[in-house]
């Protein structure tokens, strides 16, 4: 009897306090900074193209095999406006199968894919969760806006920086023409 009363008292004490639950559809709780939502592709604004070169590493490493990618020769590489020899042509992630493990982000060496904050992508059609390149880049843009993301390795992956570095290296090479010490800059893309 006393135990029951005690229990009632504890419960009663909470009657007047603020509720601790958030009423979901009306109220959205903010996600944490490291939150891993669906993967999204990022855009290299300096060359107006995705970071992704279609190297297929993430496609191979994904534990659920939910991605597919296709690459082609980058026309901008010929123009000299990008340092990426190959560029992604099509990219699809089946978000129904994605388990949000983040392995694709870990293995990507081109800063091309990130786990976005997106988690409300339910749709009415079974095919509705197949995210194509446009959608993935949209998600990526939204993620960059929300998180202030910066590429981890700009020297290698941001077109402007990489091209400038390459130009500087070439200039230095030309300046010390014939100098043996110039072979210090290995070509970084082996695609």
**Interface with another protein by CB under 8 A: which residues?**
1-4, 6-7, 10-11, 20, 31-36, 61, 63, 99-103, 106, 115
Long-range contacts of 129-132 (CB under 8 A, 24+ apart): 129/94, 129/95, 129/96, 130/92, 130/93, 130/94, 130/95, 130/96, 131/38, 131/92, 131/93, 131/94, 131/95, 132/90, 132/91, 132/92
Residue 113 site contact among another protein, ligand SF4, none (CB < 5 to 8 Å, cut-off depends on kind): ligand SF4
Residue 54 site contact among ligand SF4, another protein, none (CB < 5 to 8 Å, cut-off depends on kind): ligand SF4
How far apart are alpha carbons 83 and 51 in whole angstroms? 10
* Nearest distance in Å: CB 173, another protein: 32
* Nearest distance in Å: CB 10, another protein: 5
Residues that bind ligand SF4 (CB under 6 A): 39, 52-58, 62-64, 66-67, 69, 93, 98-104, 107-108, 110, 112-113
Give, in degrees to the nearest 5, the angle at Cα 150 between 144 and 156.
Answer: 130
User: In the 8-state DSSP scheme, what is residue 188?
Assistant: -
CA distances from 136 to 74, 155, 163, 183 (A): 19, 24, 26, 39
Residue 34 site contact among ligand SF4, another protein, none (CB < 5 to 8 Å, cut-off depends on kind): another protein
* Nearest distance in Å: CB 13, ligand SF4: 44
Residue 27 site contact among ligand SF4, another protein, none (CB < 5 to 8 Å, cut-off depends on kind): none
* Nearest distance in Å: CB 91, another protein: 21
CB 86 within 8 A of CB 9: no
Question: Which pair of structure tokens corresponds to residue 2?
Answer: 């006393």
Residue 116 site contact among another protein, ligand SF4, none (CB < 5 to 8 Å, cut-off depends on kind): none
């Amino acid at each position: 009897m006393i135990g029951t009363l005690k229990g009632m008292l504890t419960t009663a004490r909470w009657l007047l306090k603020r509720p601790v639950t958030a009423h979901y559809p009306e109220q959205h709780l903010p996600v944490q900074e490291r939150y891993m939502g669906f993967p999204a592709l990022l855009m290299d604004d300096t060359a107006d193209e995705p970071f992704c070169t279609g190297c297929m590493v993430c496609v191979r490493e994904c534990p659920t095999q939910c991605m597919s990618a296709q690459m082609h020769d980058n026309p901008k590489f010929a123009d000299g406006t990008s340092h990426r020899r190959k560029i992604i042509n099509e990219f699809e992630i089946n978000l129904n199968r994605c388990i949000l493990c983040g392995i694709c982000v870990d293995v990507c060496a081109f800063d091309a894919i990130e786990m976005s904050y997106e988690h409300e992508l339910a749709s009415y059609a079974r095919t509705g969760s197949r995210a194509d390149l446009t959608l993935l880049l949209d998600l990526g843009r939204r993620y960059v806006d929300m998180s202030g993301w910066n590429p981890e390795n700009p020297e290698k992956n941001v077109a402007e920086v990489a091209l400038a570095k390459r130009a500087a290296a070439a200039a230095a090479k030309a300046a010390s023409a014939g100098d043996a010490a110039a072979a210090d800059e290995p070509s970084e893309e082996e695609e």
